[in-house]
Amino acid sequence: MDGRILIVDDEKDMLVLLKRIIEKKTSHTVETEYNPLKVVELLRKQQFDIIITDLKMPRMDGIAILDMVKNIQSSTVVIIMTAYATIETAVEAIRKGAFDYISKPFRKERILITIAKAMEWQKLTGENITLRNSLRQKKECPPIIGSSPPIMSIIRMINQVAKSTATILISGESGTGKELVARAIHSQSKRKNKPFITVNCTAMPEQIIESELFGHVKGSFTGAWKDKKGIVQEANKGTLFLDEIGDLNMAMQAKLLRLLQEGEYKPVGGLTTKQADIRFVAASNQNLKKLIEIKQFREDLYYRLNVINLHLPSLRDRKEDIPILAYHFLKKFNSLNDKKISGIAPEGISALISKSWPGNIRELENCIERGVILCQSDTIKIPDILPQKPVAHTSPLFDHNIYTLPFKEAKEIITKAFHNKYINWILQQNNGNISKAAEQAELQRQYLHRLIKEENINTEIFKPVT
């Protein structure tokens, strides 16, 4: 993907260097400008894919250029570079919408990799907009939210297979959006104007599942006082979504297999075979191959269902989608609860990204709903969305047996215990940043570093997940 890049820097030598590096190693078109005040004219005349701007410049700094770009060309990616590499400026730039932040001096590989990632982001974002619009054919089919590579791969696959007649098996952990994907497939299919029927194989009791699926005739069992039309008949010409297919008992699996193979079924107590023209989409959060090994799932049914497999990524495998998902749910629950919360605090977003989310998107949705309900201001903060753990009573560093030891030995034990607890606490408060931890503790950085080494403390565990 060839793109147009604008470089803004008040140092002309830097402009020449960057232009030479980029044009030598890529096929992108590069323009340069040393006067930041002229950038607005360039933006109004032509479209750029990427703008690389220095942070510290006279008359207009990089943050101001970033704000201007977002107002004039909101789809343009902005990369900030500076010799003033501080956490504060980096956070501000990213918070305002910068794609990345590069410190001077930098290796040419660093700038080339960042440009490549930015171009890929532009490509994926464009595809996401196109595909998401194509999935909005019906109001009852909510859009699939996200632009991470795993979810973009799923959206592309939906677009490719939806119009076919193939049976589709959707796998993935609970809460990853399997029904949403099934609805997206239906809304893109030739059956989009026909029924989309969902069957939850877990929730339906074994005693009535056959009757619910295939219907029954009057008098076929106690309580069957009239003929009943089944779900299969209702789904005729449409799509039948079998959720958690792994929980279906073996007897029903055999009857379902006949329906899939022949398009035929019999109502309970009926003598006449009926026909059904149905597109099947099944889903499971279980490993069906393992169920086959322990004789709890039919192998022939598995291969009949698994013509096309879509495996949905867990939320922890697409963490870059968490902010956009969080704001999507914020908008939803603002509307449902008649609230006007404007946003989520940056530390709140960081906390959401750091979580492992075993419940996936469903858990995140519940989390944001709780935040909207509990929020008492215009911004959701960490206590609104993440329940606070009860404060544990501080345990003593030692028990009374310490007094039975010689003074020197007892002092060493107590000192070591204190060092370990204090250093872990101070590092946690500062997200593993040794310099900031030393400043807060009023210690020399070298001394704190030596204590960390002596206590064999891994500082990486305190750093936020990125």
Q: Give the integer Cα–Cα distance in Å for 100 and 85.
A: 13
Give the count of beta carbons closer than 10 Å to the beta carbon of residue 392.
6
Q: Give the integer Cα–Cα distance in Å for 437 and 427.
A: 6
One domain for residues 66 and 17: yes
- The reply to whether 138 falls in a domain is no
One domain for residues 294 and 357: no
Q: Read off the CATH number of the domain in which 88 is found.
A: 3.40.50.2300
- The reply to whether 390 falls in a domain is no
At 27-47, the pLDDT tens digits run: 999 999 999 888 888 888 888
Q: Read off the CATH number of the domain in which 404 is found.
A: 1.10.10
At 241-276, the pLDDT tens digits run: 999 999 898 989 999 999 999 999 999 888 889 999
The whole model's pTM is what? 0.56
One domain for residues 178 and 305: yes
The dihedral sign for the CA sequence 444, 445, 450, 456: positive
Q: What is the DSSP letter of 68?
A: H
- The reply to whether 133 falls in a domain is no
pLDDT at 133 over 50: no
Q: What's the total number of domains in the chain?
A: 4
The residue among 333, 362, 385 that closes a domain is: 385
Weakest-pLDDT range from 1-15, 77-91, 173-187, 428-442? 77-91
Weakest-pLDDT range from 115-124, 131-140, 188-197, 396-405? 131-140
Q: Read off the CATH number of the domain in which 156 is found.
A: 3.40.50.300
One domain for residues 300 and 228: yes
One domain for residues 352 and 303: no
Domain span holding position 62: 4-125
User: Do residues 349 and 326 touch, judged by C-beta distance below 8 A?
Assistant: yes
At 450-466, the pLDDT tens digits run: 888 887 787 776 666 44
At 89-105, the pLDDT tens digits run: 666 777 777 888 787 77
Q: Judge residue 359's burial from the number of C-beta atoms within 10 Å of its C-beta, 0-12 exposed, 13-18 middle, 19 or more buried.
A: middle
The residue among 311, 341, 374 that closes a domain is: 311
One domain for residues 278 and 204: yes
Tell me, what's the pLDDT at 136?
45
% the chain with pLDDT above 70: 88
First to last CA, the chain: 27
Segments in 244-397 forming alpha helices (H): 250-262, 288-293, 299-305, 322-336, 346-354, 360-374, 382-385
Q: Give the integer Cα–Cα distance in Å for 112 and 109.
A: 5
Weakest-pLDDT range from 4-13, 125-134, 426-435? 125-134
One domain for residues 379 and 415: no
- The reply to whether 135 falls in a domain is no
| Residues 6 or more apart whose Cβ sits within 8 Å of residue 410 | 398, 402, 403
The residue among 258, 285, 311 that closes a domain is: 311
**What mean pLDDT value characterizes the chain?**
84
Tell me, what's the pLDDT at 63?
86
